[in-house]
Amino acid sequence: MRATSDLIDHSSADLWIISEGVTHLETGVPFTEEKLYKVSGIPGVESVEKQFVGFGQWKKPNGAEEGILLVGFNLDNPIGGPWNITAGSIESLKTPDAVMVDELYLKKLGVTGLGQVVEIRGRRARVVGYTKGIRTFTTSPPVFTRSRTRRIMGIRENESMYCC
């Protein structure tokens, strides 16, 4: 049961805003930044951050693909970012192609070490860190990256999937 809300519980956000009708974090629907601006104008709201969560395909070294859950967040305000980091750091994710995965899924994803170059949805990515104990409700391993997830997922510049 913990895995169903882990990403939200560890985000340190007081409130998550989603598109109407979305029932699961993994099935978000993009909305325009207009919603972000409206929320940021509410008295008492200190900050609003974009969050991107969605499925992707990870190409393993042997050519096989594995479904993953991409989690993109703002590195300057790491609400919704990884926790229990065992190798690397949030700073490690500042390189343009950096990703962080959980130790439990290293074998499943074919990860053999830090610095390994992989492919996600046809785009290059480099493993720069590990976490421990981060699970999702689905069997798809969570893969943390900066908000470049938006581009990988085909979400427009002026859209977000969540704000918190």
First vs last C-alpha separation in the chain: 22
Q: How many domains does the chain have?
A: 1
pLDDT at 69 over 70: yes
Q: Kindly tell me the burial class for residue 66, based on how many C-beta atoms sit within 10 Å of its own C-beta (0-12, 13-18, 19 or more).
A: middle
Neighbouring C-beta atoms of residue 39, cutoff 10 Å: 14
Domain span at residue 155?
Answer: 2-163
More confident: 9 or 45:
45
For the chain, percent helix, then strand, then coil, each to nearest 5? 20, 30, 50
pLDDT band at 107 (very low <50, low <70, confident <90, very high): very high
pLDDT band at 1 (very low <50, low <70, confident <90, very high): very low
Q: Is 93 helix (H, G, I), strand (E, B) or coil?
A: helix
Give me the percent of the chain exceeding a pLDDT of 70.
70
Would you state the structure tokens that stand for residue 129, as one six-digit string?
Answer: 């860190």
Phi, psi of 59 (to 5 degrees): -90, 120
Q: pLDDT tens, 71-104?
A: 887 787 767 788 899 999 999 999 888 999 999 9
Strand partners, 58: 66, 120
More confident: 121 or 58:
58
Neighbouring C-beta atoms of residue 52, cutoff 10 Å: 26
Average pLDDT of every residue of the chain: 79
pLDDT of 53 reads 78
More confident: 162 or 69:
69
Rounded to two decimals, the pTM is 0.80
The answer for residues whose C-beta is within 8 angstroms of residue 16's C-beta and 6 or more apart is 8, 51, 162, 163, 164
